[in-house]
């Protein structure tokens, strides 16, 4: 192989690699939260409740199964998202809603705590330690 052809091949390979970017849970953000929604959105059980919006900021799909939500900095694994559910794959630039409940076992789109004004909601990586994003709820918000 000639030097010219080798350099051209390396250049093409490097160009292709810079266009590829692994989509990761770090591409997710908590984009919105609504405390005690009593008028608009209804969950899968027909209830109005607190919800949060999760946004995939990447150009590819991201699976958030195995991640955690918490409102306790000392217990970041408070509410796990089930692994293995195809519905936890969030498409590029897509959002999904997750609902707060004090009931256990409702599925991957429910976290088992009720956020309050003055608390912080944490989105935690599947390692149970790395905070991906957090959202502080102002004290003056009336649920």
pLDDT by residue (tens digit) across 42-88?
888 888 889 999 999 999 999 999 999 999 999 999 999 988 889 89
Q: What is the mean pLDDT of the chain?
A: 85
User: Do 89 and 63 contact (CB within 8 A), yes or no?
Assistant: yes
User: 22 or 57: whose pLDDT is higher?
Assistant: 57
The structure's pTM equals 0.80
Name the least confident of 46-50, 89-93, 96-100.
Answer: 46-50
Q: How many angstroms separate the Cα of 104 from the Cα of each of 52, 80, 132? A: 18, 11, 24
pLDDT of residue 21 exceeding 60, the answer is: no
The whole-number pLDDT of residue 17 equals 46
């Amino acid at each position: 192989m000639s030097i010219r052809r080798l350099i051209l091949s390396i250049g093409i390979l490097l160009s292709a690699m810079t266009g590829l970017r692994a989509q990761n849970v770090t591409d997710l953000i908590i984009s919105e939260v609504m405390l005690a929604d009593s008028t608009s959105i209804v969950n899968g059980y027909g209830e109005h409740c607190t919800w949060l919006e999760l946004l995939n900021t990447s150009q590819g799909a991201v699976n958030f199964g195995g991640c955690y939500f918490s409102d306790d900095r000392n217990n970041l694994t408070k509410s796990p998202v089930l692994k293995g559910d195809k519905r936890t794959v969030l498409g590029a630039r897509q959002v999904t809603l997750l609902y707060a409940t004090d009931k256990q076992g409702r599925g991957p789109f429910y976290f088992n705590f009720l956020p309050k004004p003055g608390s912080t909601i944490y989105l935690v990586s599947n390692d149970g330690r790395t905070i991906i994003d957090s959202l502080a709820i102002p004290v003056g918000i009336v649920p």
